[in-house]
Amino acid sequence: MKTDIEHISLAAERWNAEQVLSWAFSTYGDRVAIATGMGAEGMVLLDIASRIHPGLKVFTGDTEFLFPETYDLIDRVEERYGVKIERILSQLSPEEQKREFGPELWATNPDRCCELRKIEPLRRKLATLDAWITAIRRGQTPQRASAKKVEWDPKFNLVKINPLADWRHQTVWSYIVKHDVPYNPLHDRNYPSIGCTNCTRAVLPGEDARAGRWSGFRKTECGLHAAAGNTAAPLVQLAAVGAEE
């Protein structure tokens, strides 16, 4: 399968988002699903996919620390598109995590918190699929710059499909306005990237779009699309040793 995907990957770079999705649904049927963090790109992806494959399968990682606006958006999307968004949960409740790892794990070891509440639940879900569809774009982070529209995912050992890989930020929002796509109102309050309440803040003027994620740490990814490694080292510690990104 991996060899076949390498061949398909070259051709897919010439396809638009609709063509990529059509190929995904016709190739994998009920063994492919859309993963969304309910961000702007994810809303665009759902809107396009719903026009192509009304019976699409969608899931989201529910860390149980999401913003109320995010939970409300899930409800609105389900009503708008007639889909049921599966909520992927950690095996540990917030209370169990607190007892085992102490209070506010996200503040002391955010990589571990993401592993428990995002990565491991995703790993269990992806083990039931042959392919997953994401809304990542190459322009979002350096780790995503090399993403292909169709590629093999060595982290989770299945096919990864990124129909919006070559889209620009402006393209995403033009689509949202044109098609009246529902989105998280926090985007209108300087939250370009939205995660958990504990690790997300509004972005200040002049800051990078992901500066509001894990503020105070050199961390811009939860690890779903890139290995976390030592990304959660505190900024103050790295500055002391002269480390550069």
One-letter amino acid identity for 42? G
The rounded distance, in Å, linking the Cα atoms of 216 and 219 is 8
Are 197 and 67 in contact, with CB atoms under 8 Å apart?
yes
- Which one of the listed residues 113, 114, 196, 222 is annotated catalytic? 222
Are 110 and 214 in contact, with CB atoms under 8 Å apart?
yes
Q: 85-88 and 32-35: which strand pairing? A: unpaired
Annotated active-site residue 199? The verdict is no
Rounded to the nearest angstrom, the gap between the alpha carbon of residue 133 and the centroid of all alpha carbons in its chain is: 10
Structure tokens at 145: 């710059």
Are 65 and 198 in contact, with CB atoms under 8 Å apart?
yes
User: Bridge partners of 32?
Assistant: 131
| Tokens 């999307």 belong to residue | 77
Structure tokens at 28: 């994998």
Picking from 44, 26, 55, the residue whose alpha carbon sits closest to that of residue 183 is: 44
Residues taking part in catalysis: 222
